[in-house]
Structure 1
């Protein structure tokens, strides 16, 4: 039936054209934005998941930045420790030279002083983003030896969030400590040294005859066990037959060498062995030492032979305080200094090794976080990104449908003109 009141064909063509235009708008929007799901109304579930994951990716980006700062801080400390080791090697070489007879110790000390100042410069310069792990003040209220670097961000199945970190204990890295404890590797640790009082022991003057009847000194064991660190020492003197007092030192190296240990601990039961090793190390002339009992015997065959002991004091010295020009510093002191520097080199090497391990872990974690972010981005894209190949094909089809729809609507609208022809 043909009606002049209702053009059914035009209405149908118009509806089809409107539907085509709507689909074209959606397709063009997906092409222009690149998103198949650009808002919650497109797909509420996918949009919610993608929005949450995008937020997590931003958080992980901050984690990657934190790891970058941490890596730079570790690199700075590592390079400073490496440079410090080279300087310590030089100081050790200078001290070794100073043990030779005829060497001008003043000139050697001038070189050592410059190297000591260089160590201070290295430590004070080893700062990144306000953090300096090598030059510290452990007495400061804000100081803590544990440093945390944000390393991970995760979300559980229940939606709860957690932030992980890499903790670094920097207590063994410090070269200098401005506090009263002076616990750094390079600076002095005098206040760490517990005073040790050595007993007077017993002395016996010998008479004329062979060495077997000469004067002796039997060391008295300390009243309590004590421990020496690498920068601690105990000094005393032995005078043989009224001659010049010869200086003797007990250090951690001597203790460990005498007892076959590594902790520097001396007890009353094993003190004699330590005493004997110390006298032997000092090359005290004119005496022989019993390695089991520690008894010192004068080798003199004169009418009267004696071994006089003068109790000294406990002390501690760091690399930064060594001065070989002092009148009290003997060759045996310089030998002890060499051991102290060698111990400092070992500590610096161990600290650098630890930092190397931390840096390796940071690099691994950084790579993992970056790969994880890429995986998240890929997952988000799978959920919400538009397939541009598919959308372009769909757009061309819709453009064709639109053109046909316009033609159909035009034909439907012209049908009334055909009806007028019937009345002419």
Structure 2
């Protein structure tokens, strides 16, 4: 049936042309933006995933920048340690020269003093972005030897975010500590010539039945805040007898400390640690007694038998330079009475410091490699995430170009079809002519 009211052919041609035009609009948007999924209405799931991953990749970029700052901080400390090692070698050379009789030790000390000042200058200058790992103050409020370098950013399956870090123990590389004891700093505390053992040399004490021992003979044991750091050259020793039995020698050295506390730094810094170390030393010596807390700070050594008493004597400290009571920054060979043997002890102190600086530089070198590897990984991971996002939302421009050609042809045919459909009703007029 032919109708001049309802032109079915024209309606069909118009719908086809409209559909073609809509697809052309979508195609042109993809070509213009480069995205197959430009916003949520294109594909809500893919758009949501891509948006989240783009945000996470931005955070990864910040992680990469943080790694760069961390790498620069480590490089600064490493460079300073290398310079400090060279200066220590020079001090070692000067001390070796000073052991020779006839050498003007005052002149040599003048050179050593300048080198000591250079070490302080190196430590104070080793700062990057406000961080100095070599010149510290362990007594400062909120001080923490463990420094964090941001290393990664991740999201788990539940959507929870995690910031990963690389921990750096700066106590192993610090050259100077401005705290009163010098802490465990390499050049003014913590090596041979330890001045903070806190033990009464050659003291003694005895007790009656199950009385207290320690608060009289070993003053360090009576104060929970006393911090002692023993290295391979330091030791604390005393003799102890139980109930009149034979006196047994008890020795506390770095090995005993590390074994008792499960550490590697020879550091005792609390009442609980003192008790653990004392008990380890007593057990190793085969003494039938144990250390127990006596109030908040005091420590008693009591017999394992309630009826026995304990007696302690010959309390001593020893160190490679205990009689010098020194560290690298306090070496002074110009003092009256200094002998070649004294200088040899100073040499041990410097050599120990060189070993620790070398170990610290080695630790930082390994850290440099780890940070560099992490930077490379983060960079590659960001590229991989970008690639994944592209797979989800990027338009295939070759495909879109081909579609555009086809749609342009369909559009032309649609226009032609609509024209033909509209023209068909004109043919009816001819039926009414003539």
TM-score over 0.5 (shorter chain): yes
Q: Does 1:384 align with 2:393?
A: yes
- Flag the 1:42–1:53 CA change in 2: closer, same or farther, 3 A: same
Q: d(CA) in 1 for partners of 2:234 and 2:111?
A: 24
In structure 2, list runs of 5 or more residues that go unmatched: 204-216, 222-227, 237-252, 254-264, 267-276, 286-320
Change (3 A) 1:129 1:313: closer
Shift of 1:198: 4.2
Instruction: Give the match for residue 13 of structure 1.
Output: 13
Question: Are 2:372 and 1:363 aligned?
Answer: yes
Find the counterpart in structure 1 of residue 91 from structure 2: 91
Aligned residues between the structures: 334
What TM-score do the two structures reach when normalised by structure 2?
0.70
Could you tell me which residue of structure 2 aligns to residue 302 of structure 1? none
Show the 5 A alignment for 1:216-365: 229=231, 314-365=323-374
Residues of 1 paired with 2:56 and 2:235: CA distance?
57
> CA offsets, 1:309-336, max 9 Å, x none?
xxx9855211112122121322222111
Q: Are the equivalent residues in 1 in contact too, given 2:195–2:326 (CA < 8 A)?
A: no
Residues 1:354 and 1:340: Cα distance change in structure 2 (over 3 Å): same
Output the aligned Cα RMSD. 3.3
Per-residue CA deviation, residues 59-85 of structure 1 (Å, 9 max, x unaligned), is 222222222221111111111111110
Give the structure 2 partner of residue 193 of structure 1. Answer: 197
1:316 aligns to what SS in structure 2? coil
Aligned residue in 2 for 1:277: none
Q: Do the aligned partners of residues 149 and 228 (structure 1) sit closer, same or farther apart at CA in structure 2, a change above 3 Å counting? A: closer
Range that drifts further, 2-11 or 341-350 = 2-11
TM value normalised by structure 1? 0.71
Alignment partner, residue 243 of structure 2? none
The structure that has the greater radius of gyration is 1
Supply the distance in 2 between the matched residues of 1:177 and 1:108 (Cα, whole angstroms). Answer: 26
2: distance between equivalents of 1:372 and 1:228? Answer: 45
CA displacement 1:234-266 (0-9 Å, x = unmatched): 9xxxxxxxxxxxxxxxxx9xxxxxxxxx98x9x
Q: What is the alpha-carbon distance in structure 1 between the residues aligned to residue 120 and residue 145 of structure 2? A: 20
Counterparts of 1:98 and 1:198, CA distance in 2 = 32
Q: Distance in 1 between matches of 2:369 and 2:148?
A: 16
Q: 1:228 to 1:419 in 2, by over 3 A?
A: closer
Q: What is the distance in 2 between the residues matched to 1:406 and 1:77?
A: 75
Does the aligned pair in 2 maintain the 1:35–1:384 contact within 8 Å? yes
Any idea what SS the aligned residue of 2:171 has? coil
- What is the deviation of 1:416? 4.0
* Distance in 2 between residues matched to 1:181 and 1:346, nearest whole Å: 21
Confirm or deny that 1:71 pairs with 2:71. Answer: yes
Q: Secondary structure at the match of 1:171?
A: helix
Residues in 2 aligned to 1:47 and 1:34: alpha-carbon distance in whole angstroms: 14
1:28-70, Cα deviation, whole Å (9 max, x unpaired): 1111111112222222222222222222222222222222221
2:189 and 2:337 mapped to 1: Cα distance? 18
Please state whether the residue corresponding to 2:149 is helix, strand or coil: strand
Counterpart CA distance in 2 for 1:188 and 1:145 is 15
What is the CA-CA distance between 1:338 and the residue it aligns to?
0.9
Check 1:114–1:404 CA distance in 2 against 1; reply closer, same or farther (3 A cut): same
